[in-house]
Structure 1
Amino acid sequence: MTDLEAMVNVRYMVDDVDAAVEFYTTHLGFTLRTSAAPAFADVVRGGLRLLLSGPASSAGRPMPDGATPVPGGWNRIHLIVDDIATEVTRLRAAGLTFRNEIVSGPGGRQILLEDPSGNVVELFQPAR
Structure 2
Amino acid sequence: MKMYIKSVTVDDQKKALDFYTGTLGFVLKHDIPLGEFRWITVVSPEETDGVELGLEPNQHPASKAYQTALKADGIPCTAFSVDDIAAEVDRLKAAGVTFTRDLTSAGAVTIAILDDTCGNLIQLVQFNQ
Cα RMSD (Å) = 2.2
What is the deviation of 1:68? 4.2
Taking the aligned partners of 2:96 and 2:76, their CA distance within structure 1 comes to 23
Q: Residues 43-74 of structure 1, C-alpha deviation per residue, up to 9 Å, x if partnerless? A: 1223221111224xxxx24xxxxx34224523
Other structure's SS at 1:82 match? coil
What is the deviation of 1:30? 1.6
What is the deviation of 1:77? 2.5
TM-score under structure 1 normalisation?
0.75
Aligned to 1:112: 113
Taking the aligned partners of 1:93 and 1:29, their CA distance within structure 2 comes to 14
Taking the aligned partners of 1:43 and 1:6, their CA distance within structure 2 comes to 17
Do residues 48 (structure 1) and 48 (structure 2) align?
no
Taking the aligned partners of 2:122 and 2:28, their CA distance within structure 1 comes to 18
Other structure's SS at 1:33 match? strand
Please show how residues 1-128 of structure 1 align to structure 2 within 5 Å.
6-35=2-31, 36=33, 39-40=37-38, 41-45=40-44, 46=47, 47-55=50-58, 60-61=59-60, 67-70=61-64, 71-72=67-68, 73=70, 74-128=75-129
Taking the aligned partners of 2:4 and 2:79, their CA distance within structure 1 comes to 12
73-82 or 99-108: which moved more?
A: 73-82
Unaligned runs of 5+ in 1: 62-66
Unaligned runs of 5+ in 2: none
What is the deviation of 1:87? 0.9
Q: Which has the larger radius of gyration?
A: 1
TM-score under structure 2 normalisation?
0.75
Contact 2:104 2:111 (8 Å CA) reproduced: yes
Letter in 2 for 1:85: A
Inter-CA distance 112–75: structure 2 relative to 1 (3 Å threshold): closer
What is the deviation of 1:119? 1.2
Taking the aligned partners of 1:109 and 1:8, their CA distance within structure 2 comes to 27
Identity of aligned residues (%): 33
